[in-house]
Amino acid sequence: MFQPNEHYPSAGAVLEALAQAMRAEYETIVGAASCSRSTPPDLAMGRHIAFRGASEAEFLRNARLQVEALNHALANVPAGPRALALVLGNYEGPHHHDIPLERIIDLVLAVKAQAILFEGANPRHAHEWTVWQATRVPEDRILVPGVIDSVSNFVEHPALVAERICRYADIVGRRANHCRHPTAGSAPSPAPARFIRRSLTRSSRRWRRARQSRPATLGR
Protein backbone atom coordinates (compact mmCIF):
# COMPACT_ATOMS: atom_id res chain seq x y z
CA MET A 1 0.00 0.00 0.00
CA PHE A 2 3.02 2.31 0.26
CA GLN A 3 3.66 2.08 -3.47
CA PRO A 4 1.51 3.96 -6.01
CA ASN A 5 -0.55 1.81 -8.36
CA GLU A 6 -0.08 2.96 -11.94
CA HIS A 7 -0.63 -0.27 -13.87
CA TYR A 8 -3.39 -2.37 -12.26
CA PRO A 9 -7.14 -1.75 -12.43
CA SER A 10 -7.63 -1.97 -8.65
CA ALA A 11 -5.88 -2.40 -5.32
CA GLY A 12 -7.21 -5.96 -5.20
CA ALA A 13 -5.51 -6.73 -8.50
CA VAL A 14 -2.23 -5.46 -7.11
CA LEU A 15 -2.56 -7.72 -4.08
CA GLU A 16 -3.37 -10.72 -6.25
CA ALA A 17 -0.30 -10.13 -8.43
CA LEU A 18 1.95 -9.62 -5.42
CA ALA A 19 0.64 -12.77 -3.73
CA GLN A 20 1.36 -14.84 -6.83
CA ALA A 21 4.87 -13.41 -7.19
CA MET A 22 5.74 -13.78 -3.51
CA ARG A 23 4.40 -17.34 -3.43
CA ALA A 24 7.30 -18.46 -5.59
CA GLU A 25 9.73 -16.42 -3.49
CA TYR A 26 8.59 -17.91 -0.16
CA GLU A 27 8.61 -21.46 -1.49
CA THR A 28 12.15 -20.97 -2.82
CA ILE A 29 13.35 -19.61 0.53
CA VAL A 30 11.88 -22.47 2.55
CA GLY A 31 12.98 -24.99 -0.08
CA ALA A 32 16.54 -23.86 0.58
CA ALA A 33 16.07 -24.80 4.26
CA SER A 34 16.00 -21.19 5.29
CA CYS A 35 13.63 -19.19 7.47
CA SER A 36 11.59 -16.26 6.27
CA ARG A 37 10.03 -13.32 7.99
CA SER A 38 7.02 -11.26 6.99
CA THR A 39 6.70 -7.63 7.93
CA PRO A 40 3.29 -6.52 6.66
CA PRO A 41 3.19 -2.90 7.81
CA ASP A 42 -0.42 -2.52 6.74
CA LEU A 43 -1.45 -4.66 9.70
CA ALA A 44 -0.43 -1.90 12.10
CA MET A 45 1.69 1.01 10.88
CA GLY A 46 -0.49 1.48 7.83
CA ARG A 47 -3.24 2.84 10.08
CA HIS A 48 -1.39 6.10 10.71
CA ILE A 49 0.49 6.23 7.39
CA ALA A 50 -1.38 5.09 4.28
CA PHE A 51 -4.80 5.01 5.98
CA ARG A 52 -4.56 7.99 8.29
CA GLY A 53 -7.50 9.65 6.57
CA ALA A 54 -9.66 6.52 6.39
CA SER A 55 -12.11 5.10 8.90
CA GLU A 56 -11.03 2.27 11.15
CA ALA A 57 -13.51 -0.03 9.42
CA GLU A 58 -11.94 0.72 6.03
CA PHE A 59 -8.47 0.11 7.40
CA LEU A 60 -9.50 -3.22 8.92
CA ARG A 61 -11.14 -4.34 5.67
CA ASN A 62 -7.91 -3.64 3.82
CA ALA A 63 -5.82 -5.33 6.51
CA ARG A 64 -7.92 -8.46 6.15
CA LEU A 65 -7.28 -8.45 2.41
CA GLN A 66 -3.56 -8.12 3.13
CA VAL A 67 -3.68 -11.18 5.41
CA GLU A 68 -5.60 -13.20 2.82
CA ALA A 69 -3.05 -12.30 0.16
CA LEU A 70 -0.14 -13.15 2.45
CA ASN A 71 -1.65 -16.50 3.39
CA HIS A 72 -2.21 -17.26 -0.29
CA ALA A 73 1.49 -16.61 -0.90
CA LEU A 74 2.28 -18.95 2.01
CA ALA A 75 -0.17 -21.67 1.02
CA ASN A 76 2.57 -24.27 0.38
CA VAL A 77 4.90 -23.11 3.13
CA PRO A 78 4.73 -24.71 6.61
CA ALA A 79 4.05 -22.24 9.42
CA GLY A 80 7.11 -23.50 11.33
CA PRO A 81 9.82 -21.56 9.50
CA ARG A 82 7.72 -18.40 9.39
CA ALA A 83 7.87 -15.31 11.59
CA LEU A 84 5.46 -12.38 11.51
CA ALA A 85 6.86 -9.02 12.58
CA LEU A 86 4.11 -6.65 13.69
CA VAL A 87 5.59 -3.27 12.80
CA LEU A 88 4.37 -0.04 14.37
CA GLY A 89 7.21 2.23 13.31
CA ASN A 90 10.25 3.03 15.44
CA TYR A 91 10.36 6.75 14.69
CA GLU A 92 10.45 9.18 17.61
CA GLY A 93 6.92 10.51 17.55
CA PRO A 94 3.81 10.51 19.75
CA HIS A 95 2.29 7.42 18.09
CA HIS A 96 -1.11 8.55 19.35
CA HIS A 97 -2.77 7.32 16.16
CA ASP A 98 -1.41 3.76 16.38
CA ILE A 99 -4.01 1.04 15.99
CA PRO A 100 -4.59 -0.72 19.35
CA LEU A 101 -3.55 -4.36 19.40
CA GLU A 102 -6.99 -5.53 20.48
CA ARG A 103 -8.41 -4.22 17.18
CA ILE A 104 -6.13 -6.40 15.05
CA ILE A 105 -5.29 -9.37 17.29
CA ASP A 106 -7.59 -11.67 15.28
CA LEU A 107 -5.84 -10.68 12.05
CA VAL A 108 -2.41 -11.20 13.61
CA LEU A 109 -3.32 -14.72 14.70
CA ALA A 110 -4.85 -15.44 11.27
CA VAL A 111 -1.49 -15.05 9.53
CA LYS A 112 0.17 -18.36 8.68
CA ALA A 113 3.25 -17.87 10.84
CA GLN A 114 4.42 -19.66 13.96
CA ALA A 115 6.39 -16.87 15.62
CA ILE A 116 4.87 -13.45 16.25
CA LEU A 117 7.29 -10.58 16.85
CA PHE A 118 5.80 -7.48 18.41
CA GLU A 119 6.70 -4.41 20.44
CA GLY A 120 6.21 -4.95 24.15
CA ALA A 121 8.29 -2.16 25.65
CA ASN A 122 7.50 1.18 24.06
CA PRO A 123 5.31 3.54 26.11
CA ARG A 124 2.40 3.38 23.68
CA HIS A 125 2.11 -0.40 23.59
CA ALA A 126 3.82 -1.84 26.68
CA HIS A 127 0.45 -2.23 28.40
CA GLU A 128 -0.85 -4.51 25.65
CA TRP A 129 0.52 -7.61 27.33
CA THR A 130 -2.97 -7.72 28.86
CA VAL A 131 -4.40 -8.24 25.35
CA TRP A 132 -2.32 -11.40 24.98
CA GLN A 133 -3.39 -12.40 28.48
CA ALA A 134 -7.05 -12.14 27.48
CA THR A 135 -6.53 -13.90 24.12
CA ARG A 136 -6.45 -17.62 23.54
CA VAL A 137 -3.05 -18.04 21.89
CA PRO A 138 -2.87 -21.26 19.86
CA GLU A 139 -0.52 -23.88 21.26
CA ASP A 140 1.67 -23.86 18.16
CA ARG A 141 2.41 -20.11 18.29
CA ILE A 142 5.60 -18.57 19.66
CA LEU A 143 5.34 -15.11 21.20
CA VAL A 144 8.44 -12.98 20.70
CA PRO A 145 7.90 -9.70 22.56
CA GLY A 146 10.35 -6.83 22.27
CA VAL A 147 11.46 -6.01 25.81
CA ILE A 148 13.67 -2.95 25.19
CA ASP A 149 12.45 0.35 23.78
CA SER A 150 14.58 1.12 20.74
CA VAL A 151 13.84 4.87 20.56
CA SER A 152 14.35 5.89 24.18
CA ASN A 153 17.62 7.32 25.50
CA PHE A 154 16.96 5.58 28.81
CA VAL A 155 18.69 2.28 29.52
CA GLU A 156 16.08 0.06 31.12
CA HIS A 157 16.91 -1.44 34.49
CA PRO A 158 17.47 -5.21 34.25
CA ALA A 159 14.68 -5.73 36.77
CA LEU A 160 12.23 -3.99 34.44
CA VAL A 161 13.36 -6.09 31.48
CA ALA A 162 12.97 -9.24 33.62
CA GLU A 163 9.49 -8.09 34.61
CA ARG A 164 8.50 -7.70 30.97
CA ILE A 165 9.83 -11.15 30.08
CA CYS A 166 8.07 -12.80 33.01
CA ARG A 167 4.73 -11.20 32.14
CA TYR A 168 4.69 -13.17 28.90
CA ALA A 169 6.11 -16.26 30.56
CA ASP A 170 3.19 -16.14 32.97
CA ILE A 171 0.74 -15.81 30.06
CA VAL A 172 1.96 -18.87 28.19
CA GLY A 173 2.91 -20.78 31.34
CA ARG A 174 5.17 -23.77 30.83
CA ARG A 175 4.48 -24.05 27.13
CA ALA A 176 7.56 -23.84 24.91
CA ASN A 177 6.27 -20.93 22.90
CA HIS A 178 7.62 -17.87 24.59
CA CYS A 179 10.85 -16.07 23.91
CA ARG A 180 12.00 -12.50 24.20
CA HIS A 181 13.77 -10.46 21.61
CA PRO A 182 15.37 -7.18 22.69
CA THR A 183 13.57 -4.97 20.19
CA ALA A 184 11.19 -7.26 18.32
CA GLY A 185 8.88 -5.33 16.07
CA SER A 186 11.46 -2.73 15.16
CA ALA A 187 14.73 -4.65 15.05
CA PRO A 188 16.33 -5.10 11.61
CA SER A 189 17.05 -8.80 12.04
CA PRO A 190 15.01 -10.65 14.70
CA ALA A 191 15.91 -14.21 15.66
CA PRO A 192 14.41 -16.71 13.19
CA ALA A 193 11.63 -18.94 14.42
CA ARG A 194 13.65 -22.15 14.28
CA PHE A 195 16.35 -20.60 16.48
CA ILE A 196 13.70 -19.48 18.95
CA ARG A 197 12.17 -22.94 19.00
CA ARG A 198 15.52 -24.66 19.46
CA SER A 199 16.53 -22.28 22.23
CA LEU A 200 13.41 -23.22 24.18
CA THR A 201 13.94 -26.97 24.40
CA ARG A 202 14.38 -26.59 28.14
CA SER A 203 11.86 -23.78 28.45
CA SER A 204 10.17 -25.12 31.59
CA ARG A 205 13.46 -24.99 33.47
CA ARG A 206 14.23 -21.50 32.15
CA TRP A 207 10.74 -20.35 33.02
CA ARG A 208 11.08 -21.55 36.60
CA ARG A 209 14.53 -20.01 36.88
CA ALA A 210 13.25 -16.67 35.58
CA ARG A 211 10.42 -16.66 38.11
CA GLN A 212 12.74 -17.55 40.99
CA SER A 213 15.27 -14.86 40.06
CA ARG A 214 12.79 -11.99 40.02
CA PRO A 215 13.35 -9.48 42.81
CA ALA A 216 10.73 -9.72 45.56
CA THR A 217 9.78 -6.11 44.88
CA LEU A 218 8.37 -7.12 41.52
CA GLY A 219 5.60 -9.07 43.18
CA ARG A 220 4.22 -12.40 41.99
pLDDT in tens, 13-24: 998 999 999 999
In angstroms, what is the C-alpha Rg of the chain? Answer: 18
pLDDT of residue 187 exceeding 70:
no
4 within some domain: no
In Å, how far from its chain's centre is CA 54? 23
In this structure, what is the dihedral angle of CA atoms 114, 130, 204, 187, given to the nearest 10 degrees? Answer: 50
157 within some domain: yes
Q: How many domains does the chain have?
A: 1
Q: How confident is the model at residue 195 (pLDDT cuts 50, 70, 90)?
A: very low
Q: What is the pLDDT of residues 44-83, one digit of tens each?
A: 888 888 888 899 999 999 899 989 999 999 888 887 768 8
Top pLDDT among 172 and 213 is at: 172
pLDDT above 90 covers a percentage of the chain that reads 35
Q: Where are the alpha helices (DSSP H) in 1-93?
A: 11-31, 56-73
Q: What is the pLDDT of residues 114-126, one digit of tens each?
A: 889 998 998 899 9
What single string gives the DSSP state of each residue in 111-137?
A: SS-SEEEEE-SSTTTGGGHHHHHHS--
The CA distance from 181 to 170, in Å, is: 17
The CA distance from 131 to 116, in Å, is: 14
pLDDT above 70 covers a percentage of the chain that reads 74
6 within some domain: no
Domain that holds residue 86: 11-218
The CA distance from 89 to 45, in Å, is: 6
pLDDT of residue 7 exceeding 60:
yes
142 within some domain: yes
2 within some domain: no
155 within some domain: yes
> What average pLDDT does range 153-179 have in this prediction?
83
> What average pLDDT does range 101-116 have in this prediction?
93
Q: How many Cβ atoms from other residues are within 10 Å of residue 191's Cβ? A: 21
The CA distance from 201 to 51, in Å, is: 41
- In the prediction, which pLDDT does 192 show? 35
30 within some domain: yes
- In the prediction, which pLDDT does 49 show? 84
Enter the pTM of the model: 0.74
- In the prediction, which pLDDT does 52 show? 87
